[in-house]
Amino acid sequence: MNAWFAVSRFGAVFVVLYLAVAVWIVREDRQSPGGGWISLNGMASYLITLPVSVIGEKLGARPDYRRNVDMIFAIGVCTVLLYFMGAGLGKLARFIFTGARSE
């Protein structure tokens, strides 16, 4: 393929799985009523968007799981990171198991 950017199927599978799980987790976090003496509302959303949440917390702008814009941004950035991680792992696996180098 002579494209500027070849699409990684391995990365795309990671992205599809991540998006399904992330949207479900945020939806469940929003619908849970909260606990009695301890409340962990938003903890799963924080963990599913960990790279963005940690950096946002360090900068004083942690994403709010109740706001659509914050969650769309956080999940979007994590999706891009996960795609490139999956693409890299796919290339590494192809190199290890077949010895084929891709350009």
Give me the average pLDDT of each 10-residue run along the chain (103 residues).
71 92 89 67 86 89 86 93 91 83 59
Domain membership of residue 19 (yes or no) is no
60, part of any domain: yes
* Residue 34 included in any domain: no
With a threshold of 0.75, does the pTM exceed it?
Answer: yes
Q: Is 44:28 a contact under the CB 8 Å cutoff?
A: yes
Amino acid 32: pLDDT:
74
Range of the domain at 86: 39-103
pLDDT value of position 99: 76
Q: Does residue 83 lie in a domain region? A: yes
Q: Is residue 6 part of a domain?
A: no
Tell me the C-alpha distance between 28 and 72, whole Å.
15
Number of domains in the chain: 1
- Inside any domain, residue 55: yes
In a domain, 33, yes or no: no
Residue 102 domain flag: yes
pLDDT at res. 6: 75
47, 21 Cβ separation under 8 angstroms: no
